[in-house]
Chains A and B, each alone.
Chain A
Amino acid sequence: MVTYKLPHKEFFAALKEGKLLGLRCNDCGAYTCPPKINCNECASMNMEVVELKGKGEIKTFTVMRIAPEGFESWVPYIVALVQLEEGPNLVGNIIGVDPDKVTDDIIGKKIVVGWQPPPPDLRFCGPIGKDGKIQPGGIAMTFSLV
């Protein structure tokens, strides 16, 4: 039997406690984050769950002016791709920066990873709970400038 070492639920639970978890490959040394069943570099399953530094730098970004259904209350908001110090990339929201004033100069800036809850009443994102409301299966990763 194969067991998933770091399912999304555990990854997000740790993130909510301020820990960015990932997997380190015992064969090639590469880090995989967000998690998956085997190493993102060599496909080995010989990996262990480790806490990453939660630090990285901004590679690219955009300011969202037209949102998908459910995200309208966030507009305008920044979506970015960052590279962690350990190597992997993450997609999330830059927070603490005015979306109306952000410029290309933010590319290359150092960040720390955090999280924020999904907007309320987001549909199609998880099972229906006992209260009749959708239980979102995840949270957004956030990036704050150091």
Chain B
Amino acid sequence: MSDILLDVRGLDIAFFGMAGQRSVRDVSLTIARGETVSIVGESGSGKSVSMRAIMGLLPDSAYVSGSAKFLGQELIGASTATLRSLTGSRIAMIFQDPLTALNPLLSIGDQISEAIRIHNRDVSRREARERALQLLRDVAIPFPEKRLDQYPHEFSGGMRQRVVIAIAIANKPDLIIADEPTTALDVTVQAEVLDLLRRLCRQNGTGLALITHDLGVVAGMAERVYVMYAGSIVEAALVDDIFERPAHPYTRGLLRSLPKMKDQAKRLEDIGGTPPTAASLPTGCAFHPRCSFATDVCRKETPRLNSYGRSIAACHLGGSLPAFEKEIETA
């Protein structure tokens, strides 16, 4: 099991004042060394919150229970000193909005150097600067010597996200958690940044937890996918299976609501209704009010994760669902 980088088991998160309702319920997932795993879900499905809990970034009003082991070391409930020594060096995080994730008053070089020197006290300022320069080259920023002394406002969004990536990889972490790294970027820039991220992770053998709601990104990047709905994992599968044989009705809904090239005239399909909040969770399966296959069992009993082929899914109907019709693209 030494191959397992991150092993999350039964993660529960509740926030103060939410009357015992949990925002994240019984989430278990693993990430192996060098593997890219995607966590997909709508806003509020708990994907960001669970990753932040692992990094110890949640406010004091959050109650976190369960277990998250990083290379065998427990992170949930670990002391701030332990977390501080891991975060930034062994586990790095890339934030959604590169416009705000950099300190506007420090030069890019200073910020990268700081990330290096926090975890390596013996590195001199000059060495750190040299390494920062190399990192800027690694993330393909043109004229790195000039750029090193510039400030975030002198960079475009895509360039800033490259800088954020440079900071994340500064200490060659084992795991990078990327929280919607391209949501704030242009589509064309998005592709470049994702390419870069994928290349760097392959090069360094870094595990990548990619939080996203963009299935296009998932298809291009991930090896395995966890689909989250209303705070729980509803399906876990290899990326090909997610697109070919989605086992959970919610995953199917997600796939069906992707815009299709062929029939632009048709109205975009959606999943009816809105996702429940942690405070108004329905009984039984959290998805049943929006599910077209729902039966009486779904309304009463909470489904557990079961395996269906190579995937696991939390659905009572699992095997008995009609085969998923991939949109037939005829000329």
Q: Do A and B come from one complex?
A: no
